[in-house]
Structures are given as C-alpha cells and as structure tokens.
C-alpha cells in the first residue's frame, strides 16, 4: 500500500521539525511494513512508509536523480514504467534501480508536469526539485491513492496519505467543517476536495499542485478528465471484444510484481471478470481470497467458489462474524472521518 507525508515551507527555507516529520510518518506505519525513508533540506521534509512490490532490494525511498537534485516519495505503482524507462534511457538518463519509482524522477527531469500524461498507474506523488525550489504533488487520474493537505497558520504546508498523519501536527486546527457534515449526510461520505475538518483538503483525482518556496499561492489544477467528446459508434460484437481486450490488458499490467499476488473474489461481476483474466494470463493457479458471512443474506461465498472451481484457483475463504463488535474502534481510526 505504502504511504507518504511531508512538510513544506511556503514562506521560504525555514528548518523542518524532523522529529515531527517522523511522528507523522509513524502514524501511517501500517501502510508500509517494509521500512521508511526521509528527505530533509531547508524548508522541506518528506517521509515514506514502504510496502515493497517492485525491486525489493533497490526501491527504497526517497529516490533521487543522477546528481541528487530531484528527490521523490511515492505511493502507488506505475504499470508502464518499463516502456517509459526505455524511452528515458534512450534520451540519456542513467538509472540506478529497477524500480518504477525512479522512472517518475527521470520523467520529471525530461518533461516536468507533462510527465503525468505518460504515466499509466495509481499514485500519490511528492517530488522535490532543489534547483527550482519546487514541490510537486499529484494524484492519479481516478483517485485510487489518497492525498490530504492543509496550510498551517505559520505558512507551513503539511500533507499525507491519511488524515491521521496531519492530526499529529500540533498546529492543525481541529474544527468540524459544517459543509462537509452536510455533504456526509447527503452522500454517506465526505467527497473531495472536502474533509471533515475545516481547512484540510483532499487533492482531487486527476489533479496536481506545483508549489514554490517563498510563494504562498496553492492552486490545485486538473491535469486529466474523462472525455465524452467521441462516443463509440460501432456494432455490439466489436464493443464486446474491445471490452474483453481492455480488461485483459488492464489485468496483465497489474500483475507485474516481485512478490506473490492474488485476487479478491467476491463472486460479483467485477472480481469474477478480473480473476477470469488472471487465470488466462498466469501459468500457475491463481490465488483467490474470499470473505464469507454467517448471515446468508450477505454471504456471496458460494458464487466465489463456483468461479474458483471454474478457473481452478487456489481458493481461500475467511469467515467474518458480523455480530462481533471488537473491530468497531479500529474502524473509526482507519477511516479517520465519518463513513
């Protein structure tokens, strides 16, 4: 899963509290059991918790460019990193690791903010360019990876993968946002860019922020949106074939990993489609995992078992007792805000 945190001085190059940065990072330690890393320079501090998926030995963060002037912490995965890496190497960039994280660093050197147009993945990015004195924050197109941010009263910007990381900061005002409460009662959750706290924001999907030391302006801007300008006009058989082709390719690129992987299988249309694609792409039996419930009205494990038999998966079922109240307190801490 991984997680990132950071502190950035919008007013200049004041020292960052390294102890506070580490406490913020520790607050999201559950997101990355495989280690942590930090970048600290005048006016900037970045932290990361790592769940190692690609390049287990060489992908430790932060990762830097050739001369150390660009550093990055990153939560997510870039599915087309090998193709982008080859293009960057052809342009003269030298890679020290085989990780997808380093691809983002060199893509920034080559294309700046336009590098986002070339990245196919899920991500929350925090990149520091020392020469430009710029901090670049970005979230993937559909918002799979979270990123919270706020401007503190002293002009410091704080951000993190979870709201609980920001709550570690003693200067954060803990005032409920009435508009967020209204949105919560309307939708059952607090939608972007709001959070339950006034002055704390979620970076919206498909958005980025480019910040400069000494410039107090913080202006998130959209870099991508769904386009409906060219509706599909073709026969049904072609649309069906294209849907399967796209689902197969989308599944294939998500199976790139240096650790074992599997599929959550509920028995519904979406997870069944993904597992069907995985089974056709994997030379070994796919590991599948399902949650079952004692309450039959909520239990779909029988459908999952049918799919598991159909595709001969290595199937595992874990039963959940929906009447057990033990996890309630843990859920409140996990969600951070009403859900």
Residues with catalytic roles? 2
Per the CB < 8 A criterion, the answer to whether 2 and 204 are in contact is no
DSSP class of residue 117?
Answer: G
Report the distance separating Cα 199 and Cα 215, nearest Å.
Answer: 19
**Is 56 in contact with 13 (CB distance < 8 Å)?**
no
Task: Considering only the C-alpha atoms of the chain, give the largest distance between any 2 of them, rounded to a whole number of Å.
Answer: 62
> DSSP assignment, residue 127?
E
List of residues 6+ apart from 95 with CB closer than 8 A = 85, 88, 89, 102, 106
User: Going edge to edge, which strands form the sheet with 221-222?
Assistant: 63-64, 70-78, 121-129, 134-139, 207-212, 221-222
């Amino acid at each position: 899963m991984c997680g990132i945190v950071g502190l950035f001085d919008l007013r200049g190059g004041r020292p960052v509290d390294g102890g506070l940065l580490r406490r913020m990072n520790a607050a999201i330690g559950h997101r990355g059991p495989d280690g942590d890393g930090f970048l600290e320079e005048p006016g900037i501090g970045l932290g990361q918790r790592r769940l190692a998926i690609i390049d287990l030995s060489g992908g430790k963060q932060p990762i830097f460019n050739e001369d150390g002037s660009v550093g990055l912490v990153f939560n997510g995965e870039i599915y087309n990193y090998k193709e982008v890496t080859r293009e960057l190497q052809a342009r003269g960039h030298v890679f020290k690791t085989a990780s997808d994280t380093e691809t983002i660093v060199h893509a920034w050197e080559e294309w700046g903010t336009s590098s986002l147009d070339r990245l196919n993945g899920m991500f929350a990015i925090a990149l520091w360019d020392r020469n430009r004195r710029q901090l670049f924050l970005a979230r993937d197109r559909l918002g799979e990876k979270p990123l919270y941010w706020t401007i503190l009263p002293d002009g410091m910007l704080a951000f993190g993968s979870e709201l609980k990381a920001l709550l570690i900061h003693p200067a954060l005002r803990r005032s409920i946002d009435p508009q967020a409460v209204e949105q919560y009662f309307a939708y059952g959750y607090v939608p972007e860019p709001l959070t339950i706290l006034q002055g704390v924001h979620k970076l919206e999907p498909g958005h980025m922020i480019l910040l400069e030391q000494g410039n107090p302006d913080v202006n998130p801007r959209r870099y991508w949106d769904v386009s409906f300008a060219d509706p599909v006009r073709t026969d049904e058989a072609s649309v069906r074939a294209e849907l399967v082709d796209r689902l197969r390719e989308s599944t294939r690129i998500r199976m790139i990993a240096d650790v074992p992987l599997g599929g959550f299988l509920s028995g519904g249309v979406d997870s069944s489609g993904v597992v069907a694609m995985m089974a056709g792409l994997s030379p070994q039996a796919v590991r599948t995992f399902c949650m079952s419930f004692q309450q039959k009205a909520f239990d779909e494990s029988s459908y999952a078992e049918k799919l598991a038999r159909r595709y001969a998966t290595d199937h595992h079922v874990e039963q959940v007792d929906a009447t057990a109240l033990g996890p309630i307190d843990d859920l409140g801490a996990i969600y951070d805000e009403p859900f």
